[in-house]
Amino acid sequence: MERVIKNKKILVTGGAGFIGSNLIESFLSCGNQVSCLDNFSTGKRENLKEYMDHPDFRLLEGDIRNYNDCLEAVSDTDIVFHQAALGSVPRSIKDPVTSTDVNIGGFVKMLFASKEAGVKRFIYAASSSTYGDHPGLPKVEDRTGKPLSPYGITKYVDELFAANFASTYNIEVIGLRYFNVFGRRQDPHGAYAAVIPLFVKKLMNHEAPVVNGNGSFSRDFTYIDNVIQANHLAALADRQEAINQVYNVAHGERTDLNTLFELIRDIAGRYDRRVLEIKPVYGPERAGDIPHSLASIEKAKNLLGYSPTHNVKKGLEEALEWYWENL
Ligand SMILES: NC(=O)c1ccc[n+]([C@@H]2O[C@H](COP(=O)([O-])OP(=O)(O)OC[C@H]3O[C@@H](n4cnc5c(N)ncnc54)[C@H](O)[C@@H]3O)[C@@H](O)[C@H]2O)c1
């Protein structure tokens, strides 16, 4: 990666999770001091084990719903990368109360603590779910619809709070609307696992993955390295018009679930030929799912200099190599 942040004091919330742990790895490798705040509700200690003895790494076990934990975590910090949240649309439908407490209550506490501590920039994980029922494709940042799930509502409300804080207080905010991120360390286990690790795990076990619906639903699957790049660029952005904005972070390429399955099966077949015989089974559509998602990445290209390095196939090749070595 060409443009990276260096010599900064950084806090990553949700750093024991999939995206957060990848950010920590990248920030440490570029010579930053990195703190992590996590309550390990969905994150894993294993994701941090490589950094525990790193002299520039500090772990704070705590909860973003606890304001004192937030205050302790943000002290002496230049930039916050706020990733902690409860992901998953189905989880938020099953338990909207906890998702709201964490994703909105915790978000505001982190934002307010950051402002109180004099943090210069607050970069946060927003979501493509904010587009809700808006039918337009590709998704352009200022054209959003009504969120379709409690999760989508929480991520939309976070953007409102961030914009309000930017105009009310002297804190810079940047929201990165991630589109279906995948890659190393994404958890394949549990009821709320994302589609790519779920398909990979099933194939590794010689089982047929379940496709929700008829497989025609499509997503802009985004490899983790593209997300890492966008976070570095958001931290580096210095043009005024680039700050206090939200950006789509995606590859700008749409893959339907049937094609995704075939891509994964073909790559998995390089490791284990038996998976080439497996066909998916089809189940009901999931509540709260939008049929298609595809990002315009023009805004991030123009204002941040974003240039994704991995399309879905290249990303899947790297991800599967990791799963085969680590699962
Ligand atoms: N993975 C995706 O495709 C995707 C897409 C859009 C947005 N996002 C957003 O990106 C962020 C990271 O997602 P992820 O996929 O890495 O999820 P993840 O579940 O792997 O990571 C979330 C982390 O936050 C921590 N956390 C949860 N509640 C907490 C609390 N109350 N206090 C402290 N820590 C807490 C968890 O323990 C976990 O380590 C989230 O904000 C998510 O909404 C992810």
pLDDT attached to residue 262: 98
Burial readout 210-231 (b: 16 or more C-beta within 10 A, e: otherwise): ebeeebebbbbbbbbbbbbbbb
- Nearest-atom number in ligand 1 for the CA of 151 is 43
What is the CB < 6 Å shell around ligand 1? Answer: 14, 16-20, 37-43, 63-65, 83-87, 102, 106, 125, 127, 178, 180-181
Q: Ligand 1 test: best mutation among 39, 60, 89, 231, most atoms within 8 Å of CB? A: 39
Q: Ligand 1 test: best mutation among 45, 61, 72, 127, most atoms within 8 Å of CB? A: 127
Domain assignment of residue 309, yes or no: no
Q: How far apart are CA 276 and CA 316, in angstroms?
A: 16
In the reported structure, the alpha carbon of residue 103 is separated from the centroid of ligand 1 by a whole-number distance in angstroms of 9
Q: How far is CA 63 from CA 13, 52, 79, 161, 196, in A?
A: 9, 19, 19, 19, 28
Domain assignment of residue 33, yes or no: yes
Burial readout 168-191 (b: 16 or more C-beta within 10 A, e: otherwise): eeebbbbbbbbbbbbbbbbbbeee
Tokens linked to 251: 């590859």
Sign of the alpha-carbon dihedral angle for 278, 283, 323, 191:
negative
Domain assignment of residue 87, yes or no: yes
The parent domain of residue 21 ranges over 9-184+221-252
Q: How far is CA 301 from CA 79, 138, 252, 307, 313, in A?
A: 22, 15, 11, 6, 21
pLDDT attached to residue 288: 77
- Known catalytic residues? 151
In sequence order, the 6+-apart residues with CB closer than 8 A to the CB of 66 are 109
CATH number reported for the structural domain that contains residue 78 in this entry: 3.40.50.720
Q: How far apart are CA 318 and CA 3, in angstroms?
A: 22
Per-residue pLDDT of the chain (327 residues), as tens digits, is 789 999 999 999 999 999 999 999 999 999 999 999 999 999 999 999 999 999 999 999 999 999 999 999 999 999 999 999 999 999 999 999 999 999 999 999 999 999 999 999 999 999 999 999 999 999 999 999 999 999 999 999 999 999 999 999 989 999 999 999 999 999 999 999 999 999 999 999 999 999 999 999 999 999 999 999 999 999 999 999 999 999 999 999 999 999 999 999 999 999 999 999 999 999 999 887 888 999 999 999 999 999 999 999 999 999 999 999 998
pLDDT attached to residue 170: 86
Domain assignment of residue 266, yes or no: no
Domain assignment of residue 279, yes or no: no
Q: Ligand 1 test: best mutation among 11, 18, 47, 226, most atoms within 8 Å of CB? A: 18
- Nearest-atom number in ligand 1 for the CA of 102 is 31
Domain assignment of residue 203, yes or no: no
How many domains, the chain?
Answer: 1
Q: At what angle do helices 107-117 and 150-168 cross, to 10 degrees?
A: 20
pLDDT attached to residue 138: 98
In the reported structure, the alpha carbon of residue 272 is separated from the centroid of ligand 1 by a whole-number distance in angstroms of 31
Distance from CA of residue 14 to its chain's centroid? 10
- Nearest-atom number in ligand 1 for the CA of 187 is 20
Domain assignment of residue 114, yes or no: yes
Domain assignment of residue 34, yes or no: yes
In the reported structure, the alpha carbon of residue 274 is separated from the centroid of ligand 1 by a whole-number distance in angstroms of 34
